[in-house]
Amino acid sequence: MRPHRAGFVLVTVLAVCAPRPAQPMEGGPFRRAGRPADQPPPRLRSAVALAKAERVALHAVPGGREDTQAQAASSAEGQQPSQAAAARVRLVATGGTISNRTGGRLTAEELVQSMPGLERYVRPEFEQFSNVASSELTLDQWLALARRLNEIFATDAGISGLVVTSGTDTLEELAYFLNLTVRSEKPVVVVGSMRNPSALGYEGAANLLEGFRVAASEDARGKGVLVVLNDEINAAREVTKTDALRLGTFQTRGYGVLGVIDADRAVFYRNVVKRHTAKSEFDVRSVTRLPRVDVLMVYQGADGDLIKAAADAGARGIVMAAAGAGATSGTQQAGITYALKKGVLVVTTTRAGSGRIAPRRGPDAAQPARSVTDPLTAFERARRIAGEDLSPVKARVLLMLALTRTTDPAEIQRMFLEY
């Protein structure tokens, strides 16, 4: 068989086009608010670049703080935006593991840019409130954050919802605090991640994208502050962190999730019946400092001296994480009596992880007669508050806010029944 002769193919290069310098896109995606129009916007680091951006109006964050930024993204050319795509949703970043990249924390802007295709669902904006671990946020910062979120809703009627990033260690406490203090029907979604941006399998961008989608959903209105991680939507009042490391750590024991986020939409299966957000009576605009409330745990042979020490140190309230349905141990009952006589309110919760601590009597029931061995008066005994089904840390949040309004035990017990 004769071998084929080697053939030669002449390739004619028709044209080689040198890349043109990038042109600034006035009013384009991810431009910082307040930057002069003749300066180019930051280069997009998103994996998917928009083919063409329509001109959009950037929302300048009220207050003019140097660390505040706002951003709006437009839909790609030829894409028909859905109803949700018209929604403006703002990220208010506080830090946490979701931002804790090795070598430097991700900013709010970088978090938004980490989600390719976000503009398909919303017109995102962002601002940096803080950038620390959740355990480093102070109670004063909690107050400032609640005031900031209320300010956004009050001054920007066109905003559809807000997303707040948080570290997961105290995420459930912050979410419940916002659930009681942000007075709007519009969605507030708290998002975090269990893995940091430098770890293999970082889920922060996925959680954040789902948080934006939930905040843009009309179905999320009126449900209070929501916690979104791992494709699930939980109520701020009910959710708790159940595992130190696993991705599915945030769960609502006993009641189940509010909903889920799937490829097509966020789906809700039930509503929240307790008072929250727009129906809350807690107004923090004039609150300068939250009162001290301590949490103490019941364990075998526990000493009541710790309860006495908290009362002497200035605690206005103490939350007992009791055994079972409210049992104490050791000399703790003597410590509780000491605190009640000093005017400290004591809330009983369970350390069991779920279950309800009910009031010992109804609000209109007759008070039992004082025995000769009982050192407490009827009014002092009334300072014992039943924590209902709130976890110890959430009972602390509610008691702190309750004490900014009243010291009447009957009123505070009402608040625990309603919230």
| Catalytically annotated residue among 12, 68, 94, 97 | 97
Any bridge partners for residue 293, and if so which? 317
* 97 assigned to active site: yes
> Is the CA virtual torsion 259, 260, 262, 266 positive or negative?
positive
Which position has the token pair 């894409």?
79
Helices within 114-258 (DSSP H only): 139-155, 171-181, 204-215
The answer to whether 240 and 321 are in contact (CB under 8 A) is no
**Amino acid, res. 419:** Y
Q: DSSP secondary-structure letter at 411?
A: H
Which position has the token pair 């009791």?
322
CA angle 199, 201, 203 (to 5 degrees): 100
Residues sharing a CB contact under 8 Å with residue 209, sequence separation 6 or more, in sequence order: 115, 117, 118, 121
Rounded distance between C-alpha atoms, residue 128 and residue 68, angstroms: 6
Any bridge partners for residue 126, and if so which? 91
Rounded distance between C-alpha atoms, residue 356 and residue 22, angstroms: 62
Q: Are strands 240-241 and 250-251 parallel, antiparallel or unpaired?
A: antiparallel
Which position has the token pair 């044209």?
15
Rounded distance between C-alpha atoms, residue 276 and residue 296, angstroms: 26
The answer to whether 180 and 206 are in contact (CB under 8 A) is no
**Amino acid, res. 299:** Y
**Cα–Cα nearest to 91, from 212, 214, 271, 176:** 212
> Is the CA virtual torsion 32, 86, 155, 172 positive or negative?
negative
The two structure tokens encoding residue 25: 């896109």
Q: DSSP secondary-structure letter at 327?
A: B
The answer to whether 32 and 69 are in contact (CB under 8 A) is yes
Write out the catalytic residue numbers: 97
